[in-house]
A and B are shown apart, each in its own frame.
Chain A
Amino acid sequence: EVQLVQSGAEVKKPGESLKISCKGSGYSFTSYWIGWVRQMPGKGLEWMGIIYPGDSDTRYSPSFQGQVTISADKSISTAYLQWSSLKASDTAMYYCARGVGATVEFDYWGQGTLVTVSS
């Protein structure tokens, strides 16, 4: 059974760093893309970026380029999303999702990680 299990909710202060994770199981982790999607409270889905764990090929949305870093450790089938300096506006639910197909639909999703940034 394909599963993506994300790390737990985080409460941070502005300026702090953070790294959240997404562990894949039940499939070949290196053969599928992993995308990250932001959903701010009461808002829609926003594509942040995507990584191919097989060769670490990574692309970012222009809106998030330079704001976050996406990485993966294929030895433990885990992808990461990290911030070096959080802002209050980073408060949101973050989802990872497996990307498949030539035009990459996201067929399996993690349960989401809620990040709250507040002083």
Chain B
Amino acid sequence: SYVLTQPPSVSVAPGQTARITCGGNNIGSKSVHWYQQKPGQAPVLVVYDDSDRPSGIPERFSGSNSGNTATLTISRVEAGDEADYYCQVWDSSSDHYVFGTGTKVTVL
């Protein structure tokens, strides 16, 4: 089955840039979606189809995808961005959906 690997944690100072990676075999050929989950809350879609943002999501959230790595970038990080982040793809070969292992973003 298709596996998506994320770093367990990323730490970043306020105002700096956080980059969260999502590794998978030839993930560049797939569409990657990203979710933010704050403690005690349901996940929220922050980026879809590699780099598009749903309405209401700040422009500070952006995404890219190439080769074996997709990246969620959070610019000008704020305290409110502290959360767990998950990538997700649809694996067409199996017709299954897969979530990444998740990354906890800590704002220092």
Minimum distance in angstroms from B61 CB to a CB of chain A: 14
Minimum distance in angstroms from A6 CB to a CB of chain B: 9
CB neighbours of A45 from chain B (8 A)? 35, 37, 43, 86, 88, 99, 102
Q: Interface size bucket, A side?
A: 20 to 34
For A104, give the chain B residue with the smallest CB separation: B90
CA distance A103 to B52 in the complex (A): 13
CB neighbours of A46 from chain B (8 A)? 99
Number of interface residues of B (CB under 8 A): 26
CB neighbours of B43 from chain A (8 A)? 37, 45, 95, 97, 106, 109
A73: Cβ under 8 A from any B Cβ: no
Q: Return the CB mask of B68-105 against A: 1 if under 8 Å, else 0.
A: 00000000000000001010111000011111111000
CB neighbours of B44 from chain A (8 A)? 109
CB neighbours of A101 from chain B (8 A)? 31, 48-49
Task: State whether B101 touches A44 (Cβ < 8 A).
Answer: yes
A111: Cβ under 8 A from any B Cβ: yes
Docked complex: A33-56 residues within 8 A CB-CB of B: 35, 37, 44-47, 50
Q: Is the interface of A mostly helix, strand, loop or mixed?
A: strand
Task: State whether B96 touches A109 (Cβ < 8 A).
Answer: no
Instruction: Given the known inter-chain contacts A45-B86, A50-B97, please indicate yes or no for A110 contacting B42, CB distance below 8 A.
Output: yes
Docked complex: A78-117 residues within 8 A CB-CB of B: 95, 97, 101-107, 109-112
Task: State whether B42 touches A47 (Cβ < 8 A).
Answer: no
CA distance A106 to B95 in the complex (A): 16
CB neighbours of B31 from chain A (8 A)? 101-103, 105
A67: Cβ under 8 A from any B Cβ: no
Binding site for B on A (CB under 8 A): 35, 37, 44-47, 50, 59, 61-62, 95, 97, 101-107, 109-112
12 pairs of residues in contact across A and B, judged by CB atoms under 8 Å: A44-B86, A45-B86, A45-B88, A59-B95, A95-B42, A95-B43, A103-B89, A103-B90, A105-B48, A106-B35, A106-B88, A107-B54
